[in-house]
Structure 1
Amino acid sequence: MPTAVTDGLAWWGAGDYDVARQVLQRGVAALLVLAFAQVVTQFRPLLGSHGLLPVPDFVARVPFRVAPSLFHRRYSDRLVVGVGVAGAVLAASVVAGLPQRGPWWVPALVLLACWALYLSVVNVGQRFYGFGWESLLCEATFLVAWLGSDAEPVPWVGVVAARWLLFRLELGAGLIKWRGGHEWRDLTALDYHHETQPMPGPFSWHAHHLPRWWHRVEVVGNHVTQLGFPWLLLLPQPFPSVAGAVVVLTQAWLVLTGNFAWLNWAAMVLGAAMVSDGVWRTVGSWTGVAPSASAATSVASSSFVVATALVGALLLGLSWRPARNLVGPRQLMNASFEPLRLVNAYGAFGRVTRRREEVVVEGTDAERPGVEAVWREYLFRGKPCEPGRRPPQVAPWHLRLDWALWFVPLGSPSGWVVVLVERLLEADATTLRLLRVDPFGGGRPRWVRVRLFRYRYTTRAERRASGDWWVREPVMVLVDPRGR
């Protein structure tokens, strides 16, 4: 029989969000599986002891308090693989719903372990982990760790925190655009974006060639979605459900027209979690698949209430600087205000580039790199290379080397590109596995150089005539030929 104390804790449960908890916990965990799989497959050639930006060098100059990571204590390539495998296994258990069957602290410990492991990776990841969705995944993982198990009601603190995260994600992206380049205000941004975005997808060429009036509709729709609808998250239901549904639909269009790693997928998980159980039951009654009633008790355990209350107070205290960032005239995008990345600022594409330039890496077997040399191109998995190749669908997988190369023509620090040349001259096997085609079949070229090319989509007429998706022309030599 419930006591007076437990009766007094009944209000702690939000109610009507059991489906949302499942969506958040399992959805975020699925993204963690992907992220840890990338640690196993990509971290060593990029950041390992013999990588392009070695972690041992980074931790030697950056103190733990600035970038807390278990790799400050010790780093080895074998250890980082262990971190990736352990994180993937823990996250997969949450996807399967195993920790959620126990008391509330079991999924909390599992997800906090995932958070600590991934934070350790991100904080030493430098250029290759310098993306907003890394902080987003860290913050979301910490948040869902406190949603409890199936034996507990969904805490209202968790519901509010999830809404606050989606609010910052969407409104931050909308404000950074409105305050950024004039192309967002004169509605011309989408005239260029589908062509110049970091990683075009299979339908990006088609999206670029849609009528200009449609691009204006896209920009207006973006402003309405990111500047207007987030405010519905601050209202009672069913308004948050409406806002969440809009986020899912608009993010699905971005998935269709580009490759932004798991950013869009994370936003869709958050959007779907805004939908109440009542709305899911209504939709289920239309489709014949209604969610089952929750087996959770109506009263939260006292230990769960204390833990989530403390976490809620922590998140509230850390929210001041991100909130001030939203309203401030010098808004930062994709910024963390503390090294644990618990409450962050988000935003993307404050400016849209109008010209696409791509790094092209070539090697030759010639004795000298003169005009007689025959240069062969290294081909990458995702970024534009040969004009006849249709841009592939790679998201939610993140090709970190391809993404980092997109920033090089924009002026990003790129000393690591010279290291990439050296690894190709060595025919380093782990580096070559990041590529789609090694023109030397694992052998060592005599010379490697890096050139910059101007890329643009073919017109409809050019595509019919040649079958190509791109037209490219050389701009300059970025790294002069280096030999062994």
Structure 2
Amino acid sequence: MDWFSAEGFELARQVLQRGIAAVYLIAFLSAAAQFPALLGERGLLPVPRYLSRSGARGPTIFRRRYSDRLLLAAAWTGAAVAALLVAGLPQAGPPWLPMAAFLLLWGLYMSIVNVGQTFYSFGWETLLLEAGFMAAFLGSNEGAPPYPVLLLFIWLAFRLEFGAGMIKMRGGRCWRDFTALYYHHETQPMPGPASWFFHHLPKPLHRLEVLGNHIAQLVVPFLLFAPQPVGSIAAGIIIVTQLWLVLSGNFAWLNWLTIVMAFAAVSDSAVQAVVPGLGSPAPAYAPTPAWFTVVVLAASALLLVLSYWPARNLVSRHQLMNSSFNRWHLGNAYGAFGSITRQRFEIIVEGSLDGTAWREYEFKGKPGDPARMPRQFAPYHLRLDWLMWFLALGVPGENWFVPFLRKLLEADRPTLRLLRTDPFDGAAPRYVRARIFHYRYSTWAEKRQTGLWWIRRPAGVLVQPLTLAEAGRRRAWLGGWS
């Protein structure tokens, strides 16, 4: 391996290119399915109104004109290109072909994120954009993977993991006294099928989990830069810890994308040492074209310069979490769960035909029916369900939640398709309301006796009973806790 060509990292390149493309495929399919109802011409936060009031904050193909048809064209184009990259077809050609494909994905998805408002304000959106831009410079199967780009991916994985570790140490005390997982599995945004069981693990094991998390995020990331096989071992530790998180919750594509990026530090020889016979013999690469070397070095220099701001953020006493420092979403700050909530509250939305008998709307992912086992949706991202979790935490959301209630009063079909069940089978209720409930996991004894996964009790009213006429005349009153 010379200073530019990483000849022993072909598997790393294949995992990076195909894995990032697979996440883009999911992201574009999610946009096609959810964006029109959430942000389309008749959505909860219509993009045309947003553009007319404040304008997009970054590059987007929708700056001059938005339409649902154009959005779907962009989403399905992105999904098709991403599928080709997953299959490895552009990579079989010259290096400019996968470069063009990944830059197209980056541009299309950035266009969506930059008009996505609160529904696209998650840290893994910028992570996907940054990873997609970098993947454009991994080259094709003709030549060896560029070593500078693999180093940049390792640097990205380091920023993601170390940033998450530092935000925890600077955040809630429960991370420092090793009690965070007494609460996390119960209060996380969208529990998965195994989360109930994780929550009921012995508390000494929870404390051991927190210690393991601190080691994996504060110590191991430095070892990613170490010579082989230490770099591969460090990547393996990160991959295992991320798979643990995949099992214990639903965090969209955050964990899967972290796993993919960790592979940048995994050498072919390390993989073959663990799994003999895996992988093919080292390919015979063609010489790297001079133009490609120049482009890769220019892109690497740009990303290195943009790294100044997230690097400074890592050592700042006022560390930012999930922030972009430029309009192109390159060189971002990451981190999650700097603080842990100790109680879980849920907003339960109900409708009624007469104002007396109330029926509950069920969401796809967030807790509702206490007898329903939590489902696994990640890496797919249920955006409405996630914002419902933030709303229950007290994050202001009337700008989208009141329009959501109005859509229910209209029995709007695109909105109803975002839900798991419509208790009125397509008919319009006369009233809707939103109540606050306290949720906790059932104990082992309660689970055996009742079959319930959750125990809930009323905790207040968020929106009093509301009719369509009232919703049209004024903003709904958002009440508080009782």
The TM-score normalised by the length of structure 1 is 0.95
Paired position in structure 2 for 1:43: 35
Given that 1:150 and 1:295 are in contact with CA atoms closer than 8 Å, whether structure 2 keeps it comes out as: no
Paired position in structure 2 for 1:151: 142
Deviates more, 1:229-238 or 1:206-215: 229-238
Q: Give the distance between the partners of 2:115 and 2:168, measured in 1 at CA.
A: 29
Paired position in structure 1 for 2:419: 435
Paired position in structure 1 for 2:166: 175
Pairing 1:463–2:447 present: yes
Paired position in structure 2 for 1:357: 345
Task: Summarize deviations over 1:44-97 as a string: whole Å, max 9, x none.
Answer: 111111111111122223344x32211112100111111110000000000011
Pairing 1:22–2:10 present: no
Paired position in structure 2 for 1:195: 186
Task: Give 1:72-471 correspondences, 5 Å limit.
Answer: 72-285=63-276, 288-297=277-286, 299-366=287-354, 369=355, 373-415=356-398, 416-471=400-455
Moved >3 Å (runs of 4+): none
Task: Summarize deviations over 1:194-250 as a string: whole Å, max 9, x none.
Answer: 000000000100110110001000100000000000010222222221111011100
Paired position in structure 2 for 1:4: none
SS of the counterpart of 2:350?
strand
Match for 2:47 among 52, 55, 59?
55
Q: Give the distance between the partners of 1:279 and 1:345, measured in 2 at CA.
A: 30
Q: Give the distance between the partners of 2:436 and 2:362, measured in 1 at CA.
A: 14
Given that 1:284 and 1:291 are in contact with CA atoms closer than 8 Å, whether structure 2 keeps it comes out as: no
Q: Give the distance between the partners of 1:323 and 1:435, measured in 2 at CA.
A: 41
Given that 2:144 and 2:285 are in contact with CA atoms closer than 8 Å, whether structure 1 keeps it comes out as: yes
Aligned length: 467
Amino acid at match of 1:157: P
Match for 1:32 among 24, 39, 53?
24
Shift of 1:182: 0.2
Given that 1:19 and 1:291 are in contact with CA atoms closer than 8 Å, whether structure 2 keeps it comes out as: no
Task: Give 1:2-17 correspondences, 5 Å limit.
Answer: 11-17=3-9
Amino acid at match of 2:427: G
Q: Give the distance between the partners of 1:466 and 1:159, measured in 2 at CA.
A: 52
SS of the counterpart of 2:428?
coil
Deviates more, 1:398-407 or 1:411-420: 411-420
Shift of 1:181: 0.3
Given that 2:198 and 2:248 are in contact with CA atoms closer than 8 Å, whether structure 1 keeps it comes out as: yes
Given that 2:8 and 2:282 are in contact with CA atoms closer than 8 Å, whether structure 1 keeps it comes out as: no
Paired position in structure 1 for 2:479: none
Amino acid at match of 2:218: L
Shift of 1:16: 1.0
Q: Give the distance between the partners of 1:304 and 1:153, measured in 2 at CA.
A: 12
Q: Give the distance between the partners of 2:76 and 2:285, measured in 1 at CA.
A: 32
Shift of 1:407: 0.1
SS of the counterpart of 1:394?
coil
Q: Give the distance between the partners of 1:461 and 1:11, measured in 2 at CA.
A: 61
Q: Give the distance between the partners of 2:284 and 2:67, measured in 1 at CA.
A: 45
Task: Summarize deviations over 1:148-207 as a string: whole Å, max 9, x none.
Answer: 011121111111110000000000000000010000001110000000000000010011
Given that 2:347 and 2:434 are in contact with CA atoms closer than 8 Å, whether structure 1 keeps it comes out as: yes
Paired position in structure 2 for 1:6: none
Q: Give the distance between the partners of 1:317 and 1:290, measured in 2 at CA.
A: 36
Shift of 1:386: 0.6
Shift of 1:10: 6.1
Q: Give the distance between the partners of 1:197 and 1:11, measured in 2 at CA.
A: 44
Shift of 1:313: 0.7
Shift of 1:272: 2.5
SS of the counterpart of 2:436?
strand
SS of the counterpart of 1:344?
coil
Q: Give the distance between the partners of 2:36 and 2:157, measured in 1 at CA.
A: 33
Task: Summarize deviations over 1:240-265 as a string: whole Å, max 9, x none.
Answer: 21111011100111111100011110
Task: State percent identity of aligned pairs.
Answer: 54
Q: Give the distance between the partners of 1:326 and 1:130, measured in 2 at CA.
A: 20
Given that 1:284 and 1:290 are in contact with CA atoms closer than 8 Å, whether structure 2 keeps it comes out as: no
Shift of 1:452: 0.9
Deviates more, 1:472-481 or 1:431-440: 472-481
Amino acid at match of 1:38: S
SS of the counterpart of 2:311?
helix
Q: Give the distance between the partners of 1:62 and 1:26, measured in 2 at CA.
A: 37
Amino acid at match of 1:107: P
Q: Give the distance between the partners of 2:241 and 2:81, measured in 1 at CA.
A: 31
Given that 1:12 and 1:300 are in contact with CA atoms closer than 8 Å, whether structure 2 keeps it comes out as: no
Q: Give the distance between the partners of 2:448 and 2:273, measured in 1 at CA.
A: 48
Q: Give the distance between the partners of 2:68 and 2:152, measured in 1 at CA.
A: 36
The TM-score normalised by the length of structure 2 is 0.95
Q: Give the distance between the partners of 2:424 and 2:146, measured in 1 at CA.
A: 58
Shift of 1:295: 3.6
SS of the counterpart of 1:12?
coil
SS of the counterpart of 2:62?
helix
